[in-house]
Structure 1
Amino acid sequence: MGKQGLSTKTIVAIGIGTAVFVILGRFVTLPSGVPNTNIDTAYAFLALMGVLFGPLAGFLIGLLGHALKDAVFFGSIWWSWVICSGLVGLFFGLAGLRLKVRVGEFTTRGIILFNVVQIIGQLLAWFVIAPLLDILIYAEPANKVFLQGAVAGTANIVTVGVLGTLLIAAYAKTRNRSGSLQKE
């Protein structure tokens, strides 16, 4: 019989990842100078979780984490950006399917692959989908939302490119590489 559903480990990772995303998204941000748009370290953590636990976990952590943050700290959920946080987590998880981080490998090739995928995912989410959904759902002015998307997307690409890559590399270094043990 095939394996059904999510593993307990993945469900726990989604719960913990969501909580950490909320905390980082609220308390470890920098103002960008554009209204309602911050430089957010939560996406570097989301990158690590997506790479380690896969696309579904990345999607759910981004979606649930952003929705809870909005609901708890701002009183309402801005669905266009919540959906995009989920999509970005999904892209991180898709990149992770091609990486061997869990067995201690995060080579230069892996770093390049991860960053190409994360850049594509974030460009699509923040430069295209979030502004279009803002216009469709909330009737926001196009010039405002495309500016917010560009600033947030650029900040997230840089944050994940630097902090996310460092987190993933640090995690990979804690794992034993297969065949790394030698007989004395």
Structure 2
Amino acid sequence: MNNQLSIKTIVAIGIGAAVFIILARFVAIPTGIPNTTIQTSYAFLALMAVVFGPIAGGLIGFIGHTLNDALSYGSVWWSWVFVSLFIGLFIGLFWKKLDIESGIFGKKQIISFNIIQAVVQAIGWFLLAPVLDILIYAEPANKVFVQGIVAGLSNIITVGIIGTLLLIAYSKTRSQSNSLRKQ
């Protein structure tokens, strides 16, 4: 691929960011921890990152989270926006390894995907989000680490279940390379 983004990828970024906003705003479940919800938007972000790659994944996370914060709260919480970019980008780095376009998303790919997404999200939510909250906003460490742990665990589980189901469903729409037979 050359250095330019394809029209298909640019459209996917725009639509992906819009769907991310809708899911983050309307399909989130409160956890009881302030400003922390169980998000279905990260399952969709993982799907888009695996299908369209790291640039699309990162931009969908960044644009979607930024606009959602601006529309929902009137200001942007940049530390968590950065984590959304990080998650989309780093899950997307494994798009060729997972090769969803081959039409195969079996046990091996499911395990690989879930290891990747769990590690990426653990780094993002357990480490980056709290540390950035402390550095950027001078938030109390105990508060932001609890928020990060709750957000991270819920997102890992949500992506593990919903994200895996989305990827299985998507893979079934792709033709397997060995599925054609001469008659």
Q: TM-score range by the shorter chain?
A: over 0.9
Backbone CA RMSD of aligned residues: 1.0
CA distance in 2, matches of 1:58, 1:93: 6
Deviation at 1:118, TM superposition (A): 0.5
User: Does residue 94 of structure 2 align to residue 65 of structure 1?
Assistant: no
Q: Which amino acid aligns with 1:93?
A: G
Listed as ranges, the gaps of 5+ residues in structure 1 are none
Q: Which residue of 1 aligns with 2:163?
A: 164
Misfit runs of 4+, over 6 Å: none
Deviation at 1:29, TM superposition (A): 0.6
Q: Which residue of 1 aligns with 2:82?
A: 83
Contact 1:95 1:118 in 2 (8 A): no
CA distance in 2, matches of 1:112, 1:62: 23
Deviation at 1:183, TM superposition (A): 2.8
CA distance in 2, matches of 1:7, 1:27: 30
TM-score, L = length of structure 2: 0.97
CA distance in 2, matches of 1:145, 1:14: 29
Q: Which residue of 2 aligns with 1:103?
A: 102
Q: How many residues align?
A: 183
Q: Which residue of 1 aligns with 2:42?
A: 43
**1:78-157 counterparts in 2 under 5 A?**
78-157=77-156
CA distance in 2, matches of 1:22, 1:179: 38
Deviation at 1:4, TM superposition (A): 3.1
CA distance in 1, matches of 2:20, 2:45: 7
CA distance in 1, matches of 2:132, 2:3: 34
Q: Percent identity?
A: 60
TM-score, L = length of structure 1: 0.97
**1:51-87, CA deviations, whole angstroms, 9 ceiling, x for partnerless residues?**
0000111000001100000001110000000000010
Q: Which amino acid aligns with 2:104?
A: E
Q: Which residue of 1 aligns with 2:3?
A: 4
Q: Which residue of 2 aligns with 1:23?
A: 22
